[in-house]
Amino acid sequence: MSISWVTVLGATGSIGVSTLDVIERHPQRYRVFALSGHSRMDVLHTQCLAHCPQYAVVADDAQARALQSRLRAGGCATEVLFGAEALEQVAAATEVDVVMAAIVGGAGLRPTLAAVRAGKRVLLANKEALVMSGALFMGAVKASGAVLLPIDSEHNAIFQCLPTDYARGMADVGVRRILLTASGGPFRDMSAADLVSVTPQQACAHPNWSMGQKISVDSASMMNKGLELIEASWLFDVRPAQIEVVIHPQSVVHSLVDYIDGSVIAQLGNPDMRTPIAHALAWPERLDSGVSPLDLLAVARLDFRAPDLQMFPCLRLARDAAEAGGTACAVLNAANEVAVEAFLAGRIGFTDIPVIIEQTLERMAPESVQDLDHILQTDRRAREHALSWLSRHR
């Protein structure tokens, strides 16, 4: 069995840590080529000592010098690089077979696209990259022959529930719609009035998953599900109207596919990201992920209900952006990142998040996407508009 060399972008986050856990279980199959981290340098240092990658990539020169010194002192030969170009370098390196794209937010777009253009097997956990650049991204996948495998538990579930030839068209393979499940987050049973006073700590206390702050807030606002709706429409070439979001508090059914003959196929499992990671690493084979078997008798019940769009307007805004197309989704994503950062910093309330997003979308009419520079320029302008709103409403 040949060894696959893996670059993990965003190694210090929850997805990166879970990826390395799966890799450690199969040393005969996988080796780590490069790791990247943004702020959790102690975690990255420990990971480098454990896996001895050829490269580690950090945000800036000061971080690089400090980490390089610590690694040398520990007898680790890993070379530390820094900056955006270094991320693209380790994503596209000739030696690399697999890239885990797990950098949070728009910052993950360039290195993920570099991996795609280099024809790698790309495990996509950075949904924002696809949300921002949709047609451009999928066009690059087709042109390069890259293998794109979804890591979000919902998209990985959909992938598993679809026939292998789904790319020839959903109508041709008998798919009627996709049912995208959502936990509903920590505020699913609150009233709209209660949301006005919730804190960042409450928003980050997800009932089912252990995630970073940004994605936890997105889950609480249901923007995460909106971004996943956009991602699913690109991944599986379906119209947003063919995707229905369903609240499923237990997070056991990870998503479903509804067929025209009346069959509904679902993928179930314990809420543990090592399952989709292991699936994508080994696809089309299967390997042990370390996840406990699902005990349906212990789960006992599976509940489903429709989301409340009055309570969670971010989901409506995301669907509207998906329908509008063009640059609308890049604007949505940028404004959301600014708003979530402001909420986490205590500058705005939770219910201000959709207000900032909607105001930014109204100020920036959708444009036809020209190229990557156009997308990045749109991202910058949207952030400026969102920051302008913040400055006016302090």
- Based on the fold, state whether residues 90 and 30 are members of the same structural domain: yes
Give per-residue pLDDT as tens, 198-247: 999 999 987 776 678 888 999 999 999 999 999 999 999 999 999 999 99
Q: Is 277 within the bounds of a domain?
A: no
CATH number assigned to the domain comprising residue 385? 1.10.1740.10
CA angle 56, 19, 188 (to 5 degrees): 120
Q: Is 288 contained in some domain?
A: no
State the Cα–Cα distance between residues 267 and 196, nearest whole angstrom. 35
Residue 276, domain member (yes or no): no
For residue 373, what pLDDT is reported? 94
In this structure, the answer to whether residues 35 and 103 fall within a common structural domain is yes
Whether the predicted pLDDT of 287 surpasses 90:
yes
109 and 236 assigned to the same domain = no
Angle ∠(241,265,15) on CA atoms, nearest 5: 80
Whether 283 is covered by a domain: the verdict is: no
One domain, residues 38 and 85: yes
Q: Are residues 264 and 197 in the same domain?
A: yes
- Domain final residue, candidates 263, 280, 309: 309
The predicted model gives 112-138 an average pLDDT of: 95
Mean pLDDT, residues 46-69: 97
The domain boundary, picked from 151, 181, 208, lies at: 151
pLDDT band at 379 (very low <50, low <70, confident <90, very high): very high
Tens of pLDDT, residue by residue over 317-345, are 999 999 999 999 999 999 999 999 999 99
**What CATH number has the domain bearing residue 121?**
3.40.50.720
Pairwise CA distance, residues 220 & 349, whole Å: 13
What is residue 179's three-state secondary structure?
Answer: strand
Q: Which residue has the tokens 């696209």?
A: 113
Asked if 195 and 174 count as a contact pair (C-beta separation under 8 A), the reply is: no
Q: Is the preceding peptide bond at 284 cis, omega within 30 degrees of 0? A: yes
Q: Which helix (H) or strand (E) holds 200?
A: helix 200-203
Encoded tokens for 305: 């209900």
- pLDDT, averaged across the chain: 95
**How many CB atoms are located within 10 Å of the residue 140 CB?**
21
If asked whether residues 161 and 304 sit together in one domain, one would say: yes
Domain membership flag for residue 287? no
Same domain? 79 vs 200:
no
Backbone angles phi, psi at 309, to 5 degrees: -75, -20
Residues 45, 165, single domain; the answer is no
State the residue for tokens 């669907």. Answer: 319
Among residues 349, 350, 313, 317, the alpha carbon closest in space to that of 332 is found at: 317
Domain membership flag for residue 254? yes
- SS3 of residue 218 by DSSP: helix
Q: Is residue 305 located within the same domain as residue 163?
A: yes
Q: Give the total number of structural domains in the chain.
A: 3
Q: Is position 219 within any domain? A: yes
Asked if residue 348 has pLDDT above 80, the reply is yes
167 in the same domain as 139? no
Partners of 97 in beta bridges:
none
| 104 and 235 together in one domain | no
Beta carbons within 10 angstroms of residue 266's beta carbon: 18
Copy the structure tokens of residue 26.
């199969």
Percent of all residues in the chain with a pLDDT value above 90, rounded to a whole number: 90
| Cα separation, 252 vs 275, whole angstroms | 12
Helix (H, G, I), strand (E, B) or coil at 329: helix
> Does 242 map to a domain?
yes
Range of the domain at 378: 325-394
As a whole number, mean pLDDT of residues 3-19 equals 96
Sheet holding 30-36, edge to edge: 79-82, 55-58, 30-36, 4-9, 98-101, 121-124, 147-150
Q: Which of 263, 282, 309 is the last residue of a domain?
A: 309
Q: Is residue 100 domain-shared with residue 170, that is, in the same domain?
A: no
